[in-house]
Structure 1
Amino acid sequence: MGVEAMPIKIIEDLPVRKQLQQEQVYTIESSRAISQDIRPLKILILNLMPLKETTELQLLRLLGNSPLQIDVDFLHMSTHKSKNTATSYLQKFYKTIDEVKDDYFDGLIVTGAPVEKLDFDQVGYIKELRSVTDWAQSHIYSRFYICWGAQFALDYYYNVEKIRLDEKLFGVFPYQNKEASHPYIRGFDDVYHVPQSRHTRVDYEKIKTIDQLKVLTCHPDFGPDIITSQDQRDLYIFGHLEYDRDTLKKEYDRDASSGQEVQLPINYYPGDNPEKTPLFQWKSHGHLLFNNWLNETYQNTLYDLSKLPEL
């Protein structure tokens, strides 16, 4: 008999729930979950992306494919006025750091954000983000930073510089598995494909000098993709294994229709023909990474989260 996926607990009436149910990603509402005698994993998602529902759906698909019960809460920056998401939506489905500051969580996911061309100090909510990052050291067991979120965290923790690329890294690229036995990339192929969409990179030479960091996967030209701290409580990824098949297509179509001179995503469309359906080359590794992260968090987190050791 196979192991069934447990439901993820989400707030009542979250709009993407209907789509998740259609995809047979199981969810459970708070009113039902509270009656179950289960110690679920508590995951907090700091969603910095402008299209909140798209990112919610991508991440919940991956978190929901697990035999563990996951309780998910969403966090937003109270010091940022969203242009793409109604305030009423954020008030109903999201929390602020003031609302969760006395709570403890097993895991935190910090998404990317479309602000990578700005210096960190130019980002309007950077002070609040730094406060959340400090709070997470004592209130969250495992932290998972994605794309710009990873660049920010590495700069904040270790002074690893963010460097502007001459041209945008845009497409799907092969990365090499350098630490096949590491639990975060258990099951990864020797070479796997990753969607990238960014204008910046991190200083790889600086990372090599930091004993607290381990590079798990790497590209010979573009540098690392997945990095972890030696204690495995912090995970960083610069690519987007959570992306849907058509995420890069939507980005390309958006920029092309606005009159920008935009390059075709590399290694994405069959025959580089944008009229053809893009190849979905990273889906299995996205599920592997998130399942591995959840499993490692479950195996190592404390039952009483209030006793978490601060780094």
Structure 2
Amino acid sequence: MPIVAHSSLPAFAALAAEGEDVLTEAQAHRADIRELHVGLLNMMPDAALQVTEQQFTRLIGASNRIVQVYVHVFTVEGLDRSPATQAHIDTHYERFEDLRDEGLDALIVTGANVANRPDLADEAFYEPLLEIIDWASENVTSVLCSCLATHALLQHRHGVHRRRLLTKRWGVYEHRQLRPDHPLLHGTNTRFDVPHSRWNEVTTTQLERAGVEVLIASTEGDFHLGVSSDGIRTVYLQGHPEYDLVSLLKEYKREVTRFLDGEVAAIPPLPDRCLSADAARLAHDHLDAVLTARERGGAIPPFPEEQLAAGLENTWADTAKAVFANWLGLVYRLTDLERGVPFTPDIDPDDPLGRLAR
């Protein structure tokens, strides 16, 4: 779907420079094509804020070559921001109040860093997030939640509380379809990989007890993709299909830096099934060299990011694009021509996919 560069958000220029299909507003207005307005509620921490803008916008843009999509990026209160990041938000982000008045066809809600309070409801952003989610549930065709947003919404709607893991689950895990007949999975492989990165999880068993239909899961990563009982109004993601090839590598580099700076006591493990055997050996050798240098008071060798990146493989992007294409395709078919009206008059909001099945 061609993305329309309708604001000063730097992600638009960055994606255009990569060769993505990004239109100017003048180009978009010359084409008599119905548009989609997709909100991106970005709650990611400062270091990942702008790359997350690009990752989700890239996935949206890869979904279709015809429909023009306006991506409206905004955030919530209650998140600690540096002055530079707050300036970026003030300059390039939109206000939820304006988007609420103008309307959205679909909404993506990202994950976020938390203060690790015992209950998600105690996080400062929890109530502002739920205000937006509750509005979207009535006024937006479909809401797609990622990672922590999924955990927050499942707790709010179904009383499903995430569980703390003994160790961080991060890496690239094999997944399988559980419902290959669901329209969100049309054209996807029956077996594929998905990146995960989290300290907490909700399980397939928890979701099925709550009436959430799980579409994709794995033995190791467990639940990845599920939908509300109507099949489309809410889409829940626990993995990270939006990740770039180097996303997990950069997370590992950040964890190594935190270890060296004394922020964490334990040596960070490599992300599972992320690096080739040779690259994994290089990472272990580098960490050994770092520890040896510290013991001897020598210079710390630089992180071999380029060499490690050469050992990466992307085994999830095609399926991620297919799922997002299916999702936005369903939104396009279901949503009303009038912006902000979630369904055409002939669609039952409690069974929106029913008409498509007939």
Task: Indicate conservation of the 8 Å contact 2:110/2:149, yes or no.
Answer: yes
RMSD: 2.0
> How far apart, CA to CA, are the structure 1 residues paired with 2:275 and 2:206?
35
- For the pair shown, the structure with the greater C-alpha radius of gyration is 2
User: Which consecutive unaligned segments of at least 5 residues does structure 1 have?
Assistant: 1-5
Residue in structure 2 matching 1:280, options 308, 314, 323: 314
> How far apart, CA to CA, are the structure 2 residues paired with 1:160 and 1:167?
21
Q: Does 2:41 match 1:43?
A: no
**Structure 1's 21 and 221: CA in aligned 2 closer, same or farther, altered over 3 A?**
closer
Q: Does 2:270 match 1:270?
A: no
- 1:77-156 to structure 2, matched below 5 A, reads 77-83=76-82, 85-115=84-114, 117-118=116-117, 119-156=119-156
Q: Tell me whether 109-118 or 285-294 shows the greater mean CA deviation.
A: 109-118
What code does the residue aligned with 2:96 have?
Answer: I
Task: Indicate conservation of the 8 Å contact 2:103/2:341, yes or no.
Answer: no
Deviation at 1:286, TM superposition (A): 1.5
SS at match of 1:268: coil
Q: Does 2:219 match 1:185?
A: no
Q: Does 2:22 match 1:27?
A: yes
What code does the residue aligned with 2:322 have?
Answer: L
Correspondence for 2:242 = 242
What code does the residue aligned with 1:166 have?
Answer: L
> How far apart, CA to CA, are the structure 1 residues paired with 2:340 and 2:325?
24
Alignment deviations for residues 91-110 of structure 1 (CA, whole Å, 9 cap, x no partner): 22112322222222110000
Correspondence for 2:355 = none
> How far apart, CA to CA, are the structure 1 residues paired with 2:328 and 2:342?
17
Task: Indicate conservation of the 8 Å contact 1:58/1:244, yes or no.
Answer: yes
Residue in structure 2 matching 1:59, options 56, 74, 79: 56
SS at match of 2:256: helix
Please identify which structure carries the higher strand content. 1
Alignment deviations for residues 248-288 of structure 1 (CA, whole Å, 9 cap, x no partner): 00110111122242110110100133353222111111211
Deviation at 1:168, TM superposition (A): 0.7
> How far apart, CA to CA, are the structure 1 residues paired with 2:99 and 2:17?
31
Alignment deviations for residues 31-62 of structure 1 (CA, whole Å, 9 cap, x no partner): 54345433201100000112321001111111
User: Which consecutive unaligned segments of at least 5 residues does structure 2 have?
Assistant: 284-306, 344-348, 351-358
Correspondence for 2:298 = none
What code does the residue aligned with 1:43 have?
Answer: V
Deviation at 1:235, TM superposition (A): 0.6
**Structure 1's 82 and 183: CA in aligned 2 closer, same or farther, altered over 3 A?**
same
Correspondence for 2:299 = none
Task: Indicate conservation of the 8 Å contact 1:106/1:140, yes or no.
Answer: yes
**Structure 1's 187 and 224: CA in aligned 2 closer, same or farther, altered over 3 A?**
same
Alignment deviations for residues 104-145 of structure 1 (CA, whole Å, 9 cap, x no partner): 211000011122833212321211111111111122111000
Task: Indicate conservation of the 8 Å contact 1:103/1:139, yes or no.
Answer: no
Correspondence for 1:3 = none
Correspondence for 2:224 = 225
Correspondence for 1:157 = 157
Task: Indicate conservation of the 8 Å contact 2:43/2:79, yes or no.
Answer: no
Task: Indicate conservation of the 8 Å contact 1:217/1:225, yes or no.
Answer: yes
Please identify which structure carries the higher helix content. 2
> How far apart, CA to CA, are the structure 2 residues paired with 1:196 and 1:297?
26
> How far apart, CA to CA, are the structure 1 residues paired with 2:13 and 2:142?
29
> How far apart, CA to CA, are the structure 1 residues paired with 2:120 and 2:23?
38
Task: Indicate conservation of the 8 Å contact 1:172/1:268, yes or no.
Answer: yes
> How far apart, CA to CA, are the structure 2 residues paired with 1:160 and 1:8?
36
> How far apart, CA to CA, are the structure 2 residues paired with 1:72 and 1:222?
30
Task: Indicate conservation of the 8 Å contact 1:104/1:306, yes or no.
Answer: yes
Instruction: Report how many residues are paired.
Output: 305
**Structure 1's 32 and 78: CA in aligned 2 closer, same or farther, altered over 3 A?**
farther
Task: Indicate conservation of the 8 Å contact 1:193/1:281, yes or no.
Answer: yes
Q: Report percent identity of matched pairs.
A: 27
Deviation at 1:226, TM superposition (A): 0.5
> How far apart, CA to CA, are the structure 2 residues paired with 1:169 and 1:116?
18
Q: Does 2:29 match 1:16?
A: no
Deviation at 1:301, TM superposition (A): 1.4
Correspondence for 1:252 = 252
**Structure 1's 85 and 162: CA in aligned 2 closer, same or farther, altered over 3 A?**
farther
> How far apart, CA to CA, are the structure 1 residues paired with 2:204 and 2:155?
12
- 1:203-214 to structure 2, matched below 5 A, reads 203-211=203-211, 213-214=212-213
SS at match of 1:188: coil
> How far apart, CA to CA, are the structure 2 residues paired with 1:306 and 1:247?
34
